[in-house]
Structure 1
């Protein structure tokens, strides 16, 4: 199977995370539905959290392209199991990155609606991973994935990096 083109990577980024972190927040943000009193501290913290999320997300997309030979989209899955970089600490750092972007936007825009989106995003992805993606990964990568899944938590990072023995 051929490695997906750069164009397919951009397409999949536009369809999935760009929609979740840019288009949907723009559509649902309501300046009248705030969470806390306005403060420059929340603005700065929001920017820092969102940038950290963007860096984490970008790193994982790069690893999917270089190591996994696939994209982030389920219709163009990786051909190899990716267990390097942030994947040595938790199984879903790409989703964590998107969640941090949404959390940063929540703080920056002081938006109750974006907070609700972020929580729903995490819940839906947890269910999707548990019932769809993890069984598919086991079918594709077998015992290597089972060992990885047993050793590396889904969301809360390990303190020490996973090393495949």
Structure 2
């Protein structure tokens, strides 16, 4: 129980510091939430992307606590490989949701500079995953991660959820 409480507190702090800054504070600094003229269906699309992105992001953070007994923060990684929930469709739902939140805001506020920011963030995310996270997951979880990585795409979600092999197989 204590581990989950510590993991929940750590995840909450990391949520504010990482996605809170990248998908909240920095887009706000670019836009100051000034709404510029934009074709109204694009603004609606922005909300359609933004709201579910934030909901799925919260769900992914919770998954690290309840399934992984840790946090998404590199300083307090999960004890178990997190492969449930949205992780059954795509290996990087948090990064995709942060990008969705940024792109959604760009459309809601009609701010092209936020789209440019999203491109820069996506390059940073890809680099982080490729050069740090994947090697770290391979070291920490070995064959379990390799099986998962081979079955679940990193950036374009599967249509059907992946079913992890059962412990008896």
Distance in 2 (CA, whole Å) between partners of 1:85 and 1:2 is 21
- Which residue matches 1:68? 68
- Which residue matches 1:88? 88
C-alpha contact 1:71 1:77 (8 A) present in aligned 2: yes
Q: Indicate how the Cα distance of structure 1 residues 163 and 25 shifts in structure 2: closer, same or farther if over 3 A, else same.
A: same
C-alpha contact 1:30 1:113 (8 A) present in aligned 2: no
Is residue 2:15 matched to residue 1:17?
Answer: no
Tell me which stretches of 4 or more aligned residues in structure 1 moved more than 4 Å.
Answer: none
CA offsets 1:41-69 (integer angstroms, 9 cap, x no match): 22222112100101110110110111011
List gaps (5 residues or longer) in structure 2: none
- Which residue matches 2:139? 139
Alignment RMSD, CA only?
A: 1.9
TM-score (norm 1): 0.90
Aligned length: 162
TM-score (norm 2): 0.88
CA offsets 1:7-30 (integer angstroms, 9 cap, x no match): 322211111000011110111227
- Which residue matches 2:57? 57
- Which residue matches 2:154? 154
Q: Counterpart of 1:11 in 2: which secondary structure? A: helix
- Which residue matches 1:26? 28
C-alpha contact 1:89 1:160 (8 A) present in aligned 2: yes
List gaps (5 residues or longer) in structure 1: none
Distance in 1 (CA, whole Å) between partners of 2:32 and 2:13 is 28
